[in-house]
Amino acid sequence: MSKNTGIVKDRRYLRHGSEFTHPETPQRLVSIYEMLENPDMAWKFIGIDAREATREELERVHRPSYIDAIAATAGQKMFMLDVDTVATAETYDVARLAAGGVMNAIDGVLSGEVDNAFALVRPPGHHAQAETAAGFCIFNNIAIGARHAIARHRLERILIVDWDLHHGNGTQEAFYGDRRVVYFSTHQSPGYPGTGGLTEIGTGEGIGYTMNIPLGAGADDAFYLRLFRQILVPVARTFRPEIILVSAGFDPYVGDPLGEMKVTPEGFACLTRVLLSLADECCQGRLVAVLEGGYHIQGLTKSIRAVLQELLGETLAAEETLCRIAERADEKVGRLIDRVRTQFEDYWPIL
């Protein structure tokens, strides 16, 4: 069944970091936007405007002093926030625009204006903590979006799925003690930022609601798909989220210069289909994907196209296809699933 898919797309996002060489280059979005502007794609989506996040919205996740520090970089040609993360003259405005674009996408889905959405924004966000920029991230777009959904729309159950190559330490921090959000992350380990161990499961009321699945190098479509189907799906069905948010990083792509995973565009499409099926079952199809990493520009663009075709309902990864791919996974995934079940069975007995 075809879906109305919203897209956040704004050329102002290209203004961040255009003055220097960096893996998180504006060319990432240039390539994606060119794909979207092709005649075979341009007419298929509903445009969602970007807007700048307000100070109040940013403060739901970030400390006032940190926001002030980022604001102070405005107009500077280059300011090193950490060893990997740079602010340039327009970064403060563009980063607010990224967070605002994500909130508008969430509003569009929750209002029924669109069925699902993909916020194609930059800079990325999931490493940004309350008072720290890191890993190319300035403001934590998806965490700000989730807090917006709670504050404005009164949501009580949000599922954040983070399939980026790297652990979203900033997103984990934001919701570590919050049982309104299940944070589920697959990420390469060992690897940057060094967090996301299997035993990091939340604290206080949020214990058991942070689910980290660290993966060794070489995980492929089958590996990821089996994890999603055997761990994420039963937990999500029990939790019954009111919206699913996806930190959609494409650095697990086979050939990405920063990673050692082997996920193909078809694999990303299959993961999207798993999440869309959960959204249909639990929350009227409400799903918003937010761009995070992905540094093989051709692979990034191909993978996003595959995800968008699933969001639109143009392609439909059938259950038999998902089963067939998942069955290819080697024995390592079975051992990992057993460890995850042991870790979480007290919190999610369905496992």
pLDDT in tens, 77-116: 999 999 999 999 999 999 999 999 999 999 999 999 999 9
For residue 14, the 8-state DSSP code is: G
Residue 127 annotated to the active site: yes
Return the pLDDT at 18.
75
Return the pLDDT at 154.
98
Rounded to the nearest angstrom, the gap between the alpha carbon of residue 92 and the centroid of all alpha carbons in its chain is: 21
**In the chain, beta strands by DSSP E:** 5-8, 46-48, 79-80, 86-87, 116-119, 158-162, 181-188, 210-215, 243-248, 287-291
Q: Take residue 63 and report the two structure tokens written for it.
A: 């400390």
* Structural domains present in the chain: 5-344 (3.40.800.20)
pLDDT for 8-64, tens place per residue? 999 999 999 877 788 999 999 999 999 999 999 999 999 999 999 999 999 999 999
Whole-model pTM: value is 0.98
Do residues 271 and 228 lie in contact, with contact meaning Cβ atoms separated by under 8 Å?
Answer: yes
What CA dihedral angle connects 336, 338, 342 and 347, to 10 degrees?
A: 90
Q: Which of 16, 62, 126, 127 is catalytic?
A: 127
